[in-house]
Chain A
Amino acid sequence: ETGVTQTPRHLVMGMTNKKSLKCEQHLGHNAMYWYKQSAKKPLELMFVYSLEERVENNSVPSRFSPECPNSSHLFLHLHTLQPEDSALYLCASSPEPSGTYNEQFFGPGTRLTVL
């Protein structure tokens, strides 16, 4: 595996379900990110982790819960979502979050549909 991988690629869930999105980066980077991409809107940053420590939470509802067990893995735990949470969820990584080199490399995304 190379780059940034995400599973599952597609997810349909009911409002009462609990599910998790997984991201893995194979680039040796120190920072990882969750973004939400909705139709007709710019990418919205949700969370930033640097060396497994959360450094930014962009006012995201508590029904989204991130977890970063190590610098290569990132999870987004979902529970009691709303239909408006349906979107493409993208994971990204970068060498470091705020240093000289912050090119972020994205995974393919998880297309989430909440019924």
Chain B
Amino acid sequence: EDQVTQSPEALRLQEGESSSLNCSYTVSGLRGLFWYRQDPGKGPEFLFTLYSAGEEKEKERLKATLTKKESFLHITAPKPEDSATYLCAVQEKGAQKLVFGQGTRLTINP
């Protein structure tokens, strides 16, 4: 069965302090790995899709990378507005559904 594990569960950083979030996955044949951002009381907001090992994507202070077993979301010089829960999800080839991890709750202190 597909599994997605995110770590850490929660991360508190100072503004400007770079770090990485981890998403480990187990799936027999990856169609895609997805990163979302979710603010309290709102729906997840799509950030990135990664399809194959070695792929990287960037958006402002965020950079997502993918290996055969895990994905990292690197946050460079974060700002307080980057505070949110970051969700990772995987889709198996031929499957309709996404399997989500529990998320990492990121807090950036000014």
Residues of chain A at the chain B interface (Cβ within 8 Å): 4, 6, 31, 40-43, 45, 48, 50, 55-56, 58, 90, 92, 97-98, 102-109, 111
What number of A-B contacts does a CB cutoff of 8 Å give?
A: 57
CB distance from A101 to the nearest CB of B (A): 8
Binds A, one of B60-68, B76-84, B99-107: B99-107
Give the distance in Å from the alpha carbon of A35 to the alpha carbon of B110 in the complex. 34
Which residue from chain B places its CB closest to the CB of A6 in the assembled complex?
A: B43
Residues of chain B at the chain A interface (Cβ within 8 Å): 4, 31-32, 34, 36, 41-46, 49, 87, 89, 91, 94-103
**Residues on the A chain within 8 Å of B44, using CB:** 43, 90, 106
Give the distance in Å from the alpha carbon of A11 to the alpha carbon of B99 in the complex. 27
Check B43 against A58 for contact (C-beta < 8 Å).
no
**Residues on the B chain within 8 Å of A50, using CB:** 96
Given contacts A42-B101, A50-B96, A98-B95, contact A90 B43 (CB under 8 A): yes
Check B96 against A55 for contact (C-beta < 8 Å).
yes
**Residues on the B chain within 8 Å of A56, using CB:** 96-97
**Residues on the B chain within 8 Å of A41, using CB:** 102
CB distance from A111 to the nearest CB of B (A): 7
Give the distance in Å from the alpha carbon of A105 to the alpha carbon of B91 in the complex. 15
Check B43 against A48 for contact (C-beta < 8 Å).
no
Give the distance in Å from the alpha carbon of A107 to the alpha carbon of B43 in the complex. 5
Give the distance in Å from the alpha carbon of A58 to the alpha carbon of B12 in the complex. 35
Give the distance in Å from the alpha carbon of A41 to the alpha carbon of B87 in the complex. 12
**Residues on the B chain within 8 Å of A104, using CB:** 34, 46, 98
Given contacts A41-B102, A42-B4, contact A105 B96 (CB under 8 A): no
Check A108 against B101 for contact (C-beta < 8 Å).
no
**Residues on the B chain within 8 Å of A98, using CB:** 31, 91, 94-96
**Residues on the B chain within 8 Å of A42, using CB:** 4, 99-103
CB distance from A112 to the nearest CB of B (A): 13
